[in-house]
Amino acid sequence: MTILANVSLLALAGWFITMMAIAGAAGTTEVNYFTPAAAIRGFAITRTAGRYAERLVTHEATFRLLASLRVWFYQHLEPLAPAVLQHYHSGDLLSRIRADIDHLENFYLRILAPIIVAIIACVFFALFLHQYNDILLLVEMSLLFIAGVLVPILINRQAKHSGERLITCKSDLRVTTSDSVQGMGELLIYGAADTQAGKISQLTEDLLQDQEKQASLYGISQAAMLFCANLAMWSMLLLSIPLLKEQQISAANIPMLALFALASFEAIAPLPLALQLLPETLKSAKRIFEIVDKKPLIKEPKTASPKPENFDIEFKQVSFHYDEKQGNVLSSLNFKLPQGNKLAIIGESGAGKTSVMHLLLRLWPITSGEITLGGHSLEHFHSDDSRQYFSVVSQQTLLFNSTIKRNLLLANNNANDDEIEQACRTAQIHDFIISQPQGYDTWIGEAGLKLSGGQSRRIATARALLKNTPILILDEPGEGLDTITEKKMLNAIFDDNPDISILMITHRKIGLERMDKIICLEKLD
């Protein structure tokens, strides 16, 4: 509607001005200038309102699509973690969920919509010119075809490789920059900062070259578009003069047709850029579907999860490997953790202690054997259903850039202040929190930057306790803590939670005297 109004406005204005000039030169006073003037104003208002509505509708639709795509992508991404995603860099995954999905906005806004608009507009243009002369129609459609089809196809072919490289290079640059920032300390210690900086510089240079190639192609396409538009205007002008002599058209129609031809190229002006962006958009889509099309290693059951009457855990001849080539991490492991008991798993690094936790949480599938929960095979539970029975303090503490309280409430959004305080007292972190000027509303920074390792670990422990599940898994709970604090924390956890099952994975001896059973794992050759 906007484009048709704009073309009609320019064409009608040309006709009206010429008509009034002819009438003035001839001294004619009987000229209806009210209707054309009203039509010109109507087209101007329609163009303005249409442009606003077009921006509003297309951008609203695009933002809604991007929001839906991110949710859709995350829903497919989450079941792949961590087993399938272990081969992907976190920076690369972040680039896919943000930059690549952002790039997909081009498909609707700059590719699909302009092509549809151009096709519809060209049909109206053809019907309009058919009323005057088929030669004019043929010339106009030929130049529109050249500028709107042939030029974009040529630009698309030239932009294919550089466009695809552009997406890959941007992703590599994000990953490398992220690595450099996160690992700056290690890079400086080992004297590798200059090498890493050189890698970033090379990626930046490659990116600039591809961007320069894309900018050059865009400039060429716009030059070709302007050339065809001006050629159409002059062709229409020159071809209309003989028609005037033959009295097939009036004199006022000549500038109208010339301006119509010039303005009509607005309908196809976005097409070269649309096809230039197509390789980049398709490359982004391929990167997204590369993740989405992967199958989770954990197979969810088709039936509803069983309802366990108790929460006994039993490993029956369980063997497991992360990679067949590297061999088993666990081999024929057997143990039982009755509900309410405490079990410690100790052993040297690499013996498979943390792997036990991974299998219980269904993050990886077991190679052979069986794990039962409440007498039911763990494979009969949906992952989300089985995980609701576990609270976990893992070695990797995950905290968000928010307040202490909000980080704690992630475990239990309905917890009241008394429950939060009790969990923090048990984790031996309450005194530190209240010593802060803002107490539980203290912001902890990105990934808990403002906290020490031990403080972060104790907040994570309090969060796990706040979840209030029948099974608690502690993976190296004393990491970053001094011996006295660790012992106080573990004793408080054991004393305050006598009815829950506790599985403690550790290489330290603190707290082992409170265990009902201790299993020592040996590293397999």
Please state, as a whole number, how many other Cβ atoms lie within 10 Å of the Cβ of residue 411. 19
pLDDT at 10 > cutoff 70:
yes
Rounded Cα distance, 466 and 412, in Å: 6
Rounded Cα distance, 293 and 76, in Å: 8
pLDDT value at position 28? Answer: 72
**Percentage with pLDDT > 90 across the chain:** 62
Backbone angles phi, psi at 82, to 5 degrees: -95, -5
Rounded Cα distance, 228 and 366, in Å: 66
How much is the mean pLDDT over the chain? 90
For the chain, domains (ranges, CATH) are 2-175+213-292 (1.20.1560.10), 313-521 (3.40.50.300)
- How would residue 250 be classed by pLDDT, with cut points 50, 70 and 90? confident
Q: What residue type is 495 in one-letter code?
A: D
Rounded Cα distance, 395 and 248, in Å: 86
Rounded Cα distance, 37 and 373, in Å: 82
Rounded Cα distance, 412 and 273, in Å: 50
pLDDT value at position 29? Answer: 67
Rounded Cα distance, 333 and 521, in Å: 9
pLDDT value at position 247? Answer: 84
Q: What is the DSSP string of 302-361?
A: SSPPP--SS--EEEEEEEE-S-GGG--SEEEEEEEE-TT-EEEEEESTTSSHHHHHHHHT
Higher confidence at residue 392 or residue 30?
Answer: 392
488: Cα separation from own chain's centroid? 43
Rounded Cα distance, 370 and 316, in Å: 5
pLDDT in tens, 280-333: 999 999 999 999 999 988 888 999 999 998 999 999 999 998 877 778 889 899
pLDDT value at position 334? Answer: 93
Instruction: Provide the b/e sequence for 169-184 (b: ≥16 CB within 10 Å).
Output: bbbbbbbbbbbbeeee
Q: What is the mean pLDDT of residues 78-83?
A: 87
Q: What is the mean pLDDT of residues 117-134?
A: 92
Instruction: Provide the b/e sequence for 1-11 (b: ≥16 CB within 10 Å).
Output: ebbbbbbbbbb
Based on its alpha-carbon atoms, the radius of gyration of the chain, rounded to whole angstroms, reads: 35
Do residues 342 and 336 lie in contact, with contact meaning Cβ atoms separated by under 8 Å? no
- DSSP 8-state class, residue 392: E
pLDDT value at position 482? Answer: 87
Backbone angles phi, psi at 55, to 5 degrees: -65, -45
The structure tokens listed for 355 are: 């792997």
